[in-house]
Structure 1
Amino acid sequence: MNSHHVSPLAMGSQHLSGQPPVIRFHHSKILALFRALDSALIVALLWVGVHFFSLEWSNFHTAFALCAVIIFGFFAETNEVYYLWRGDSMMKLSLQLLLAWFATSVFIMFAALLAYSPNKEGFFAIALWVLATPAAMVAMHIGRRVFLAKLRANPTEPRRVAIVGANDLGLRLINSIQSMPWMGYKIMGFYDDRAASNDVDRRLVGQHIDVKGGLEQLYADAHDGKLDIVFITLPMRAELRMHAVIDRLADTTVSPYLIPDVFNFDLLHSRLTCLQGIPALSIYDSPLVDNGWAKRLEDFVLGSLMLLGLSIPMLVIAAGVKITSKGPVFFKQTRYGLGGDPIKVWKFRSMSVCEDGPNVAQAKKSDPRVTPFGNFLRRTSLDELPQLFNVISGSMSLVGPRPHAVAHNEYYRGQIKGYMLRHKVKPGITGLAQVNGFRGETETLDKMSGRIAYDLEYIRHWSLLLDLKILWQTIFKGFVGQQAY
């Protein structure tokens, strides 16, 4: 009678329970505790501020405290304060906390002005609370980091880690682990039996690569109890090899981790999500998926303020356009907006023609179509000011990739890889490309490629702070340029 080796893992893959396997996300109990402590700290400091000014606790204070906890919880979650992104710097953590509380304090101080305008002591108590809370909160979280770092820096039994795959991803993983001593990991080295080559996806060479042996050596060390964790960083095309490694490690007690080499893709604001236990990684995503409301609020508030402040200069410009040349004051041209949908972009008319069709030539130096007054407007970007109407209506943003004429879009999308990805966000009045010298005419493919590279870099690293930085830089760099005709 023949005996057969039956694998429990293979039996499990048949879903005997009727439930397919799922992947669970790791949650930090410490971060959950500090989420609760932050809420308690907000309430406690308000109580201290109220009693510091010898005031009695009232229903108003209870409402302020509860609203602050709810609003801060929302902005903290939006800012990923309690996410388990191991390795983030203390500076980044502090900035995340401060931004979340700053957004909270805007609402709180507005409510305090309405509730306590005749009561100076009551308003000062709220103001003291608003100022003291972020300092105490940042100090508490930094203390947590320092305490845990010292506690875990020299563990009595460090977890011994091996890397399968002496490649660029494996080296990046080791560098990340070494920057986090509080994790309690001890790097044992690489294991790789592939021939060394100059292909970083396959096998790195050099003195900084410590290869302990091939895969058979890995299995022997794992079997002998010399390893605790194995990270597999083989390229995605090596699927059969990864299966073989994982199957052999099932005969040991090590914990294998699979690190997919998704960085080979040109990620654009990538996000990791989970669909009923099925992990999914977006490759070309938009930051507006999760933060569209924040950018829309930024555009509406700042755009309205700018339009109010620039209303008189815009009236003067409108009169100048009307007086110096025949034709309408405004010019609307079809451009691609969010998702590649057509929108009508407003501008002060700067040419003697109003071209909008399948064949629109870019403005060039000494272009005969540009009027004398229009030349001044174009060189100073004042012709773009009516796009504030687009911003307030929602078809454009203050900051984003500059919208191109439809004819130019259709041409360059076939010339530059990833060109249409710039439409993952709304077009903007100014952008990262404009403050880095790519403003005005892009008469060569290299110049347009440079502009698109900055547009995609903006989408890849978008944040409200980046928007504010670009708006500030636009004041000094974005209104003039040698390429603006």
Structure 2
Amino acid sequence: MSLFKQGRYSGYLRPISYLIDLSIVNGFAVFYFFKNIDPVIFVGFASLSWIILSVYSNFYEVYRYTREVKILSFILTQLVLFTLIIFAFSGYYHEQNIYPITIFNYSVAVFLSISFFKFAIYYLLQKYRVSFGGNYRRTVIFGANKKTLALEQFFNKNPEYGYIHTKTFSFKERKLINLNECFRFIKEEQIDEIYCSISELTNLQISEIVDFADNNLKILKFLPDNKEIYSKKLKYEYYDYIPILSLRNIALEDSLNTVIKRTFDILFSSFIIIFVLSWLTPIIAIFIKLESKGPVFFKQSRNGFNFKEFDCYKFRSMTPNQDAHLYQATRGDQRITKIGRFIRKTSIDELPQFFNVLFGDMSVVGPRPHMVSHTNIYAKKIDKFMVRHFVKPGITGLAQISGYRGEIETDKDIIGRVKYDIFYIENWSLLLDLKIITRTFLSAIKGDDKAY
């Protein structure tokens, strides 16, 4: 096994690229502009403009299969638009006497430097994959035809892209292909991505493969043909000249989105810990201790991102009991103390989880984590339950503000929760997080009927 990381995506690459490019943009400005203008104003304006442009022009949407011509196209588009913005800046600050030739020289210098570093990273990653076997993904293909053969050849002849193709399953050799054998192979060989030729599969087989991929955290992609797959929006990509469809587009797999969400989590959790928990914890601790013996905090193992277990913290709201890790609180539960009933009704018992957020096990907003015992049950019983683990769990979530908080009384409750969680995963935005936080706060003030 390689000593190097081989995760689904490299989360640090895009933030590093941003850092390098912004350093170039502002570094060259030292030589060209800072004698004439306020450096703080320019750095702020240029950095913000660069980031906004890059988001809307998809400047950093460069993947292992992106061709050099496409990268060059991204660079040219970004630099032309950025140069126009700098001209607009110089027109607004016309009293600074920034001449067009200076802007032109600055843009050329930035263009050449960014091109150098962008291609350097691109080729170094390819060299790293070929020479050291790192940053790779293991693949299988379902269906054997001209298109899948072309994809298989692409994987085998281009090791620099970081794909290790393990097997192509031909569905023509047997009329009744045993998908369970395929699934067992995928698990045993630790396959990362599954590619399916739609023309080779029946609708029933597609459904089984989709369910398997969702429930086992496997990336599923399709080679499209004229057969209709699903009515949902699919992500369309090219590997060389081969079109590929991704079934599930997870917004937080984008490194920039991950950085934005993590930054917000750190700032928000730090604020709550410093300005709320610092004085509220001693008060709650006194009431808990006065009413019953036992610790102030309650620790419970739960499943988080990529199904990993972590210790989730809460203010203790029950008398110590052996069933705490097995059974949820129910309406009129005799285990709940008087102070426990109050802090559960107002969601104060959840506040210590902001330490989980700060430590990186949780996010402020995301699918609520379940007890390990319940997760094992629902993973087998509820279809697509495992999709929730593609992102970090949250203190609150879209399902919780949509009526699916608290005790799971019937399968309908957990099915509804999963539906909202998947919608959140596929449609994440910082604005959506803020909306969920606001509605959670208002619900805590009013008191939720299902908070018991």
Residue type matched to 1:65 in 2? F
Of 279, 282, 288 in structure 1, the residue corresponding to residue 246 of structure 2 is: 282
Q: Which residue of 1 aligns with 2:344?
A: 378
Alpha-carbon distance, 1:410 to partner = 0.9
Q: Deviations over 1:337-382 (max 9, x none)?
A: 111100110100111125588x611111111211111111111111
Q: Which residue of 2 aligns with 1:73?
A: 50
Aligned counterparts of 2:403 and 2:420: Cα–Cα separation in 1: 10
Aligned counterparts of 1:385 and 1:320: Cα–Cα separation in 2: 16
Q: Using CA pairs below 8 Å that are at least 6 residues apart, which structure has the higher relative contact order?
A: 2
- Do the aligned partners of 1:434 and 1:478 also contact (CA within 8 Å) in 2? no
Percentage of identical aligned residues: 39
- Do the aligned partners of 2:252 and 2:428 also contact (CA within 8 Å) in 1? no
Aligned counterparts of 2:251 and 2:391: Cα–Cα separation in 1: 8
Alpha-carbon distance, 1:236 to partner = 5.0
Q: Which residue of 1 aligns with 2:288?
A: 321
Residue 370 of structure 2 is aligned to residue 393 of structure 1: no
Alpha-carbon distance, 1:61 to partner = 3.0
Aligned to 1:345, the other structure's residue is in SS state strand
Q: Structure 1 465/76 Cα, relative in aligned 2: closer, same or farther at 3 Å?
A: farther
Of 384, 396, 400 in structure 2, the residue corresponding to residue 418 of structure 1 is: 384
Q: What value does the CA root-mean-square deviation take over the aligned residues? A: 3.5
Aligned to 1:414, the other structure's residue is in SS state helix
- Do the aligned partners of 1:287 and 1:425 also contact (CA within 8 Å) in 2? no
Q: Deviations over 1:135-173 (max 9, x none)?
A: xxxxxxxxxxxxxxxxxxxxxxxxxxxxxxxxxxxxxxx
- Do the aligned partners of 1:399 and 1:471 also contact (CA within 8 Å) in 2? yes
Aligned counterparts of 2:284 and 2:57: Cα–Cα separation in 1: 44
Residue 301 of structure 2 is aligned to residue 334 of structure 1: yes
Aligned to 2:230, the other structure's residue is in SS state helix
Q: Pairwise mapping of residues 7-156 of structure 1 onto structure 2 (< 5 A)?
A: 58-61=35-38, 64-65=41-42, 68-78=45-55
Residue type matched to 1:476 in 2? L
Q: Which residue of 2 aligns with 1:301?
A: 267
Alpha-carbon distance, 1:314 to partner = 2.7
Q: Which residue of 2 aligns with 1:454?
A: 420
Q: How many residues align?
A: 265
Residue 445 of structure 2 is aligned to residue 468 of structure 1: no
Q: Structure 1 261/439 Cα, relative in aligned 2: closer, same or farther at 3 Å?
A: same
Aligned to 2:38, the other structure's residue is in SS state helix
Q: Structure 1 364/73 Cα, relative in aligned 2: closer, same or farther at 3 Å?
A: same
Q: Which residue of 2 aligns with 1:292?
A: 258
Q: Which residue of 2 aligns with 1:346?
A: 313
Q: Which residue of 2 aligns with 1:361?
A: 327
Aligned to 1:360, the other structure's residue is in SS state coil
Aligned counterparts of 2:265 and 2:361: Cα–Cα separation in 1: 11
Alpha-carbon distance, 1:389 to partner = 0.2
Q: Structure 1 478/422 Cα, relative in aligned 2: closer, same or farther at 3 Å?
A: farther
Aligned to 2:313, the other structure's residue is in SS state strand
- Do the aligned partners of 1:430 and 1:478 also contact (CA within 8 Å) in 2? no
Q: List gaps (5 residues or longer) in structure 2.
A: 1-24, 62-94, 96-196, 202-223
Q: Deviations over 1:372-415 (max 9, x none)?
A: 11111111111000000001111100001111101111111122
Q: Structure 1 83/294 Cα, relative in aligned 2: closer, same or farther at 3 Å?
A: closer
- Do the aligned partners of 2:345 and 2:444 also contact (CA within 8 Å) in 1? no
Residue type matched to 1:344 in 2? D
- Do the aligned partners of 2:236 and 2:243 also contact (CA within 8 Å) in 1? yes
The structure that is helix-richer by fraction is 2
Q: Which residue of 2 aligns with 1:428?
A: 394
Q: Structure 1 376/67 Cα, relative in aligned 2: closer, same or farther at 3 Å?
A: closer
Aligned counterparts of 1:362 and 1:80: Cα–Cα separation in 2: 48
Q: Which residue of 2 aligns with 1:482?
A: 449
Residue type matched to 2:38 in 1? H
Alpha-carbon distance, 1:426 to partner = 0.7
Q: List gaps (5 residues or longer) in structure 1.
A: 1-38, 44-55, 85-124, 126-234, 240-256
- Do the aligned partners of 1:333 and 1:356 also contact (CA within 8 Å) in 2? no
